[in-house]
Amino acid sequence: MRQFVIRCRSTPVHAERFLRTVGRAGHSEYLAHILVAGLFLAKGHREDTSVHLVLEKSRDLPRVLSISGASLGSLAGLNESSILGALADALLAGAGRGSDAVSGAGIRCRALSFERLLGELAGAPILLDKDGPDVRESAVIVDPIFVMTDHTPMPAKVRKSMISRGIARVSVGPRTLHASQVVVLLHNEMDRRASFATSRIEE
Ligand SMILES: C[S@@+](CC[C@H](N)C(=O)[O-])C[C@H]1O[C@@H](n2cnc3c(N)ncnc32)[C@H](O)[C@@H]1O
């Protein structure tokens, strides 16, 4: 199982405001790119992958939108507006403070913090960090939970505390990339490792 947790510090949880940030400071359009990179193949969904978007611009609590490749329902299309519309529908469904709702497209929306989400996910959290060790040199990663931000950096204090608590870090190269590009490279690395491991067993 692969999981991606994206901390979106400047993305509103209010459905209408969420849609209004397209092309503006909140840049919700980046989330559509992350979902396409995270959950879709040319022919089908990545059924072994979940993406959790933690939207933090809220008057009450953050909302976590969890989308699983195994249970994603049909979307009107794979374009930005259809995907963002499906996310906004899920935010509407989960608008109440203590809510836990699943939208028609199969997107779960919960009022939950980034820290609590990380505490409940099963697997090995790995922080994406351009200056961390090269992912190509890393040991086998079983059930990875790749943690990153969208375009707004992780607060320095949180990053420091995660590192001091011993969270693993990986880099996918020397350039700062968009989160969706990082997701593509991580999938590619995991796909290649899985494929080479299978071909070695068959030799
Ligand atoms: C657009 S970047 C965020 C840029 C933001 N200005 C910053 O410095 O964190 C989005 C996410 O991708 C990660 N990222 C970008 N390039 C990376 C790289 N080469 N290796 C690992 N993670 C990377 C960042 O750590 C961040 O979590």
Nearest ligand 1 atom to alpha carbon 170: 21
Query: In terms of pLDDT, which residue wins out, 23 or 202?
Result: 23
Nearest ligand 1 atom to alpha carbon 147: 27
Q: What is the model's pLDDT at position 197?
A: 73
Query: In terms of pLDDT, which residue wins out, 140 or 85?
Result: 85
Closest CA to 5 of 64, 86, 84, 72: 64
Q: What is the pLDDT of residues 101-154, one digit of tens each?
A: 999 899 999 999 999 999 999 999 999 999 999 999 988 788 999 999 998 999
Q: From the CA of 4, how far away is ligand 1's center (Å)?
A: 13
Is the pLDDT at 31 greater than 90? The verdict is yes
Residue corresponding to tokens 């949180």: 158
Mean pLDDT of the region 83-91: 95
